[in-house]
């Protein structure tokens, strides 16, 4: 092996350090678009995954599809979310955060008061807010509806998420029904959740003929007031 002069040795070592440092950074993304910041890139990827899952479900979408929709490489997507399950969880968690902010604003309470502590709203109040929010985001409702069906299997990665989510929602609706002084608060909670899910499914299947809020209000007026 030919020995290099000291200055070339130093240059060579510096180059190797730069290459190693680059390998630890985010993979090359796209040559077609300028690089986004990490937070913006994550949001872009979550948007794409949400659209794909709402059409194809968890089993029907791939990291490769998400990467293609964002004009990225697969390693770039994996860099942000580690794997397909991590991406699914990010999709669900973002939706929960955004919805919770809207619910608390509409009800005039702090976010933690919706799930915990003394409830300051009735069951009709919270259900109306939930349905009004969902009426504005059919793609997100479709995503949740598809995943809800898929996750009936305990092998689905969202199984535990949906189990816990339903328990929390039923507990929250039960407290709201208690706030109203209804005779069977937990029964009212299950009926309300079942009706909301059913009306939304009819709306998703036939949006031209079904007005989500009109149908929901017809039920709520007859059931409560």
Q: What one-character-per-residue DSSP string does 187-215 give? A: HHHHHHHHHHHHHHHHHHH-TTT--HHHH
CA 45/CA 36 separation, integer angstroms: 11
Asked whether residue 4 carries a pLDDT value surpassing 60, the answer given is no
pLDDT of residue 82: 85
- pLDDT given at position 68: 94
185: in domain: yes
Strand, coil or helix: 142: helix
Q: What pLDDT score was predicted for residue 2?
A: 44
CB < 8 Å & 24+ apart, contacts of 96-100: 99/133
Residue 73 domain flag: no
- The Cα–Cα gap between 186 and 171 comes to 8
pLDDT tens digits, 137-146 = 999 999 999 9
Domain that holds residue 141: 92-223
For residue 115, being part of any structural domain is answered with: yes
* Residue 8 covered by a domain: no
* Residue-wise DSSP of 19-83: HHHHHTSPPP--SSSPPPPHHHHHHHHHHHHHHHHHHHTTTT--HHHHHHHHT--HHHHHHHHSS
Q: What is the pLDDT of residue 10?
A: 55
pLDDT reported for residue 197 = 97
Q: What is the pLDDT at residue 34?
A: 61
Q: Which of 18-27, 116-125, 196-205 has the lowest mean pLDDT?
A: 18-27
Q: At residue 13, does pLDDT exceed 70?
A: no
Closest CA to 175 of 198, 192, 150: 192
Q: Could you give the number of structural domains in the chain? A: 1
Residue 11: predicted pLDDT: 45
Decide if 137 is inside a domain. yes
Which pLDDT belongs to residue 12?
47
Q: What is the pLDDT of residue 24?
A: 41
Residue 174 domain-assigned?
yes
**In this predicted structure, what is the pLDDT of residue 35?**
76
Confidence (pTM): 0.77
- Taking only the tens place, the pLDDT of each residue in 110-165 is 888 888 777 889 999 999 999 999 999 999 999 999 999 999 999 999 999 999 99
Let me know if residue 9 belongs to a domain.
no
Residue 19 domain-assigned? no
Distance (Å, whole) CA 57 – CA 147? 6
pLDDT for residue 216 is more than 50: yes
The pLDDT of residue 113 is 81
């Amino acid at each position: 092996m030919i020995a290099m002069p000291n200055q070339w040795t130093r240059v060579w070592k510096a180059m190797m350090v730069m290459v190693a440092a680059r390998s630890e950074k985010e993979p090359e993304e796209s040559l077609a678009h300028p690089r986004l910041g990490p937070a913006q890139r994550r949001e872009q990827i979550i948007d794409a995954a949400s659209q794909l899952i709402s059409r194809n479900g968890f089993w029907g979408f791939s990291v490769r599809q998400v990467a293609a929709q964002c004009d990225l490489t697969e390693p770039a997507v994996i860099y942000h979310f580690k794997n397909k399950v991590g991406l699914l969880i990010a999709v669900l968690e973002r939706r929960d955060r955004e919805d919770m902010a809207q619910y608390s604003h509409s009800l005039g309470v702090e976010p933690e008061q919706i799930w915990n502590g003394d409830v300051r709203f009735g069951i009709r109040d919270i259900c109306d807010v939930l349905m009004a929010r969902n009426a504005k985001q059919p793609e997100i409702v479709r995503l949740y509806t598809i995943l809800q069906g898929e996750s009936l299997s305990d092998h689905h990665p969202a199984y535990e998420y949906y189990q816990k989510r339903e328990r929390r929602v039923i507990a929250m609706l039960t407290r709201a029904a208690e706030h109203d002084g209804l005779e069977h608060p937990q029964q009212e909670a299950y009926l309300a959740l079942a009706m909301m899910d059913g009306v939304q499914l009819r709306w998703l299947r036939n949006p031209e003929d079904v007005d989500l809020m009109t149908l929901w209000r017809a039920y709520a007026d007859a059931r409560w007031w």
